[in-house]
Amino acid sequence: MFEKVEAAPKDAILGLTEAFKADPRAEKINLSVGVYQDENGKTPLLECVKEAERRLAAAPTTKSYLPISGLADYCRAVAELAFGAEAEPLSRKRVAWAQTPGGTGALRVAADFIHANFPQATVWMSEPTWPNHPQIFAAAGVPTKSYAYFDAKTNALNLEGMLADVGKMQAGDVILLHGCCHNPTGIDPTPEQWKKIANAVYARGVLPLLDFAYQGFADGIEEDTAGLKAFVRPGAEMLVCSSFSKNFSLYRERVGALFAVAPSAEAAESVQSQINKVVRSNYSNPPGHGAEVVATILGDESLRKQWEGEVATMRNRINGMRSELVKALKDHGVPGDYSFIQRQRGMFSFSGLTKPQVERLRDEYAIYVVGSGRINVAGLTSCNIDRVAECIGKVL
């Protein structure tokens, strides 16, 4: 049977990393990956994580299974982080939740939940979006469509086009939104625009699903919840998929969460049972370590302060590199206005580089960027930024 199995196409982004590793050129620079890197090009292990791990190792309890929905202390702590400790949906107990293996796990549980409970629903995604989004929903058998999001001419949000597409959605469809730090464009709605989007989405009877993978990487841990909070209204429903891969730098520990905000506590109980059913047949129950680390940090005042500081360091470095890149492009006489790079948020910048330009960057200058022209700004350092700007100038 296996001889008849055809090879699957390589993952567009992970395939590039393999090519980068195999590239013998010493001057090579990887701006294609989706992980944060510090000034030395390393993905750090946060000090607060090290301390939480020390504490957990010093007082081990058990390695028995977690409940299907995960560690309750963790779920509550991360729900408060996303919605706010005093949020009405939490105090009215109308939020069902699950600790999931990363944000991807949360998205897949959400997709299976949608497929099982709303078989007529189409999930609408921004054009462009994270390439794994369509794959996850397709794997769950959920139909997908695209809505307008990015205006390449102005390097800004195409709000008009987006709202027009919301008008084409059917009641009972789902709209997938990036909570902040839109991947790949780096363009987020302003708080005012978020309100308009939420009004249109709810007026249409569409269910919002917020993918929240970069909380704290745009303007601040609290500030970055503005989009999510625009959808928190009395009785209103929504799904949120959180990831703590980036903001706790816990990538391989697979730490995420799914929240389903139901209209009532009663409805939340039924939704919880359906989420549990999906989890049970997928991976039964989630892994413990990463969630224990996050719960330890968020539950301890001093560790939490330390974490907030470490997130600020990552955020400030990324935003600093944005300004540096704009300056370096100017210094190298690259024609055009690149100030939009400074307005974008999160790890990624949609540079506007075309596919042939991306190929030249890789083939001639050993600089790796994904085909869409998405640059990982966190891959820039004071050592490589000049060369990057110079080579961008050459391929333009």
Ligand X SMILES: Cc1ncc(COP(=O)(O)O)c(C=O)c1O
Q: Does 186 bind ligand X (CB under 6 A)?
A: no
Nearer to ligand X, 178 or 345 (CB): 178
Residue 241 beta carbon to ligand X: minimum distance, rounded to whole angstroms: 7
3-state secondary structure of 137: helix
Stretch that binds ligand X, among 86-94, 98-106, 158-166, 376-384 (CB under 6 A): 98-106
Q: Which of 102, 216, 373, 379 binds ligand X (CB under 6 A)?
A: 102
Among 232, 218, 264, 256, smallest CA distance to 100 is for 256
Q: Which of 69, 122, 144, 183 binds ligand X (CB under 6 A)?
A: 183
Nearer to ligand X, 102 or 391 (CB): 102
Stretch that binds ligand X, among 80-88, 100-108, 164-172, 284-292 (CB under 6 A): 100-108
Would residue 165 show up in a list of annotated catalytic residues for this protein?
no
Rg (CA), the chain: 21
Q: Are strands 367-368 and 29-30 parallel, antiparallel or unpaired?
A: parallel
- Distance separating alpha carbons of residues 262 and 258, to the nearest angstrom: 13
Instruction: Given the residues 97, 112, 124, 130, select the one marked as catalytic.
Output: 130
Residue 374 beta carbon to ligand X: minimum distance, rounded to whole angstroms: 11
On whether the CB atoms of residues 105 and 279 are closer than 8 A, the answer is no
On whether the CB atoms of residues 211 and 179 are closer than 8 A, the answer is yes
Q: Does 123 bind ligand X (CB under 6 A)?
A: no
- Distance separating alpha carbons of residues 258 and 255, to the nearest angstrom: 11
Nearer to ligand X, 245 or 349 (CB): 245
Q: Does 34 bind ligand X (CB under 6 A)?
A: yes
Q: Does 350 bind ligand X (CB under 6 A)?
A: no
Q: Give all strands (DSSP E) within the chain, no chain letters.
A: 29-30, 95-100, 123-127, 144-148, 150-151, 156-157, 174-178, 207-212, 238-243, 256-261, 348-350, 367-368, 374-376
The one-letter amino acid at 75: C
DSSP string, 378-392: GG--TTTHHHHHHHH
Would residue 130 show up in a list of annotated catalytic residues for this protein?
yes
Residue 111 beta carbon to ligand X: minimum distance, rounded to whole angstroms: 12
Site string for ligand X, 253-272 (x = CB under 6 A): ---x----------------
Would residue 97 show up in a list of annotated catalytic residues for this protein?
no
Q: Which single residue brings its beta carbon nearest to ligand X?
A: 102
Residue 22 beta carbon to ligand X: minimum distance, rounded to whole angstroms: 23
Q: Does 245 bind ligand X (CB under 6 A)?
A: yes
- Distance separating alpha carbons of residues 340 and 156, to the nearest angstrom: 8
Sheet with 238-243: list strands edge to edge: 95-100, 256-261, 238-243, 207-212, 174-178, 123-127, 144-148
Residue 183 beta carbon to ligand X: minimum distance, rounded to whole angstroms: 4
Residue 342 beta carbon to ligand X: minimum distance, rounded to whole angstroms: 21
Instruction: Given the residues 173, 188, 211, 224, select the one marked as catalytic.
Output: 211
Stretch that binds ligand X, among 74-82, 99-107, 223-231, 381-389 (CB under 6 A): 99-107
Residue 298 beta carbon to ligand X: minimum distance, rounded to whole angstroms: 17
Nearer to ligand X, 42 or 252 (CB): 252
3-state secondary structure of 64: coil
Q: How many residues lie near ligand X (CB under 6 A)?
A: 12
CB count in 10 Å sphere of residue 10: 11
Q: Which of 130, 149, 150, 217 binds ligand X (CB under 6 A)?
A: 130
Q: Does 213 bind ligand X (CB under 6 A)?
A: yes
Residues with Cβ within 8 Å of 244's Cβ and at least 6 positions away in sequence, in order, are: 78, 250, 255, 256, 257, 290, 294
Nearer to ligand X, 329 or 376 (CB): 376
On whether the CB atoms of residues 285 and 67 are closer than 8 A, the answer is yes
Nearer to ligand X, 247 or 296 (CB): 247
Among 210, 303, 301, smallest CA distance to 258 is for 210
Q: Does 37 bind ligand X (CB under 6 A)?
A: no
Nearer to ligand X, 238 or 326 (CB): 238
Q: Tokens 């841990």 — which residue?
A: 221
- Distance separating alpha carbons of residues 331 and 147, to the nearest angstrom: 37
Q: Which residues contact ligand X (rule: CB under 6 A)?
A: 34, 102-104, 130, 178, 183, 211, 213, 243, 245, 256
Q: Which residues are catalytic?
A: 130, 211, 246
